[in-house]
């Protein structure tokens, strides 16, 4: 298997230090923290002093190129060619492997060329707080009124004032229907069948995802701040302990395909990809609801080519383009107009687009006060280390 356990740096901020974050993660994380505080200030001072002309480079050519900073697989040649045909602007794509890398590079001043960046939900929040992204001029955008309800006013960026959601997904369960006694609809199956599932399930290695799923199962909010509810969730998870083979985000794929594992908790994107290869597997979003993650597009304050950035946002808002992108790249769009343009088989693909009823019960993971974070972490450490 190719490198595993790395993908999830998107959610690193929620992972406790006590859990098995890899060394590289820790480095990235501490780099983001350290350099953010110390180095960026110095870089900013130096560069502000020396390079005010550099921020407006040769205008005639700059307007013809748009630099974007994104995840691999979120763009492809067809998408870029379509944009060039329409606007005459050439797109140069650079990729990052984690939000933390992206943040550090931006704070270090290495992102001055980028007019569009693709941070994840929690990172948008942080970048807004750090005043790194420019508010979006809604009058320059067409078609922003057609978001699915969950993205009309997201917790990470109220009113989508600074960011535009572009890709989203869920957290759920993946399993082989041929290997379970009755069809799995949600988390209750796991709790009811703990005896048969001895060391045959894996959970994501992330405190808020696992605790959140349990809170949902108990009927509470994913972002509960009530100590009693959190304790109840912990006690439920303790009952599950004999069934849990490990807490891993990636790396369960082989064992699940071969039948050594019965059920794995997974991000929808991983599951969709896996099912393409092993069609006998099935992914469900628990009927009690799940967590939602979102990747967005923002325009950084340092953007050299704001006009082209708005062109790009409008291009991505275009339902036709969004729909084609969903078809080619198998990623879910929050744009309802684009959703309507999709072929029926994709519209009904429950893995990409869970039913509205389930969506309505789902929430994004929102930050909680420090004391509550500590509480989550404490239970998580007890759970994962016992």
Partner 1 sequence: MNIAPSAAKPSFSWQFVVTLLMYGFMYIPILILAFYSFNAERFSANWGGFSLRWYVSLLNDSRIQSALLDSLRVAFTAVAVSAVLGTMMAVGLAKYRFPGKGLYRGISYLPLIIPDIAIAVATLVFLVSIGLSLNIWTIIAAHIVFCLAYIAVVVSTRLTGLNPHLEEAALDLGATPLQAFMKVLLPELMPAIFSGCLLAFVLSMDDLLIASFTAGDGANTLPMEIFSRVKTGVKPDINALSVILILVSGFLAFLSEYIRFRSERRRFRQ
What is the binding site for partner 1 (CB under 8 A)? 1-4, 6-7, 10, 27-28, 31, 35, 39, 42-43, 46-47, 50-51, 54, 57, 67, 71-73, 77, 92-97, 101, 104-105, 108-110, 112-113, 250, 253-255, 257-258, 260, 269-270, 273-274, 277-278, 331
Closer to partner 1 by CB, 108 or 143: give it: 108
Cβ contacts of 41 within 8 Å, gap of 6 or more: none
Distance of closest approach, residue 169 Cβ to partner 1, in angstroms: 10
Closer to partner 1 by CB, 17 or 238: give it: 17
The answer to whether the beta carbons of residues 190 and 263 sit under 8 Å apart is: yes
Between CA 319 and CA 342 the distance in angstroms is 9
Distance of closest approach, residue 39 Cβ to partner 1, in angstroms: 5
Closer to partner 1 by CB, 112 or 361: give it: 112
Tokens of 332: 């879910």
The pairing of strands 163-175 and 291-298 is: antiparallel
Distance of closest approach, residue 249 Cβ to partner 1, in angstroms: 10
Tokens of 35: 């350099």
Distance of closest approach, residue 6 Cβ to partner 1, in angstroms: 5
Closer to partner 1 by CB, 169 or 186: give it: 169
Tokens of 214: 């349990």
Closer to partner 1 by CB, 230 or 331: give it: 331
Closer to partner 1 by CB, 43 or 141: give it: 43
Distance of closest approach, residue 269 Cβ to partner 1, in angstroms: 6
Tokens of 344: 């029926």
Distance of closest approach, residue 97 Cβ to partner 1, in angstroms: 4
Distance of closest approach, residue 246 Cβ to partner 1, in angstroms: 16
Closer to partner 1 by CB, 91 or 173: give it: 91
Closer to partner 1 by CB, 14 or 67: give it: 67
Between CA 297 and CA 119 the distance in angstroms is 7
Indicate the burial class of 43 (C-beta count within 10 angstroms; 0-12, 13-18, 19 or more).
Answer: middle
Distance of closest approach, residue 105 Cβ to partner 1, in angstroms: 6
Between CA 222 and CA 213 the distance in angstroms is 7
Between CA 237 and CA 225 the distance in angstroms is 18
């Amino acid at each position: 298997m190719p490198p595993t356990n790395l993908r999830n740096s998107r959610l690193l901020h929620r992972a406790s230090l006590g859990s098995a974050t890899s060394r590289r993660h820790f480095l990235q994380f501490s780099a983001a923290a350290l350099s953010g505080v110390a180095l960026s200030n110095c870089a900013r001072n130096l560069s502000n002093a020396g390079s005010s002309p550099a921020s407006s480079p040769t205008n005639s050519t700059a307007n013809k190129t748009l630099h974007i900073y994104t995840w691999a697989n979120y763009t492809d040649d067809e998408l870029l060619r379509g944009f060039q045909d329409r606007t005459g602007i050439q797109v140069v794509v650079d990729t990052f492997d984690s939000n933390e890398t992206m943040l550090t590079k931006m704070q270090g001043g290495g992102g001055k060329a980028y007019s569009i960046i693709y941070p994840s939900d929690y990172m948008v929040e942080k970048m807004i707080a750090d005043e790194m992204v420019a508010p979006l001029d809604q009058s320059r955008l067409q078609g922003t009124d057609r978001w699915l309800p969950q993205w009309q006013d997201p917790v990470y960026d109220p009113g989508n004032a600074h960011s535009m959601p572009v890709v989203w997904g869920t957290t759920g369960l993946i399993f082989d229907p041929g290997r379970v006694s009755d069809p799995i609809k949600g988390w209750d199956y796991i709790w009811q069948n703990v005896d048969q599932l001895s060391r045959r399930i894996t959970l994501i290695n992330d405190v808020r995802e696992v605790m959140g799923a349990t809170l949902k199962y108990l009927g509470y909010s994913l972002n509960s701040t009530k100590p009693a509810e959190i304790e109840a969730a912990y006690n439920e998870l303790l009952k599950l302990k004999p069934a849990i083979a490990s807490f891993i985000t990636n790396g369960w794929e082989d064992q699940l395909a071969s039948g050594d594992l019965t059920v794995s908790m997974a991000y929808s994107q991983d599951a969709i990809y896996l099912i393409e290869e092993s069609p006998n597997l099935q992914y469900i979003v628990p009927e009690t609801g799940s967590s939602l993650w979102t990747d967005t597009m923002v325009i950084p304050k340092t953007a050299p080519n704001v006009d082209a950035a708005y062109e790009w946002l409008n291009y991505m808002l275009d339902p036709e383009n969004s729909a084609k992108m969903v078809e080619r790249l198998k990623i879910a769009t929050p744009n309802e107009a684009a959703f309507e343009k999709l072929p029926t088989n994709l519209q009904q693909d429950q893995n990409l687009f869970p039913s509205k009823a389930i969506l309505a019960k789902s929430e994004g993971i929102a930050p909680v006060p420090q004391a509550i974070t500590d509480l989550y972490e404490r239970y998580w450490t007890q759970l994962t280390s016992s």
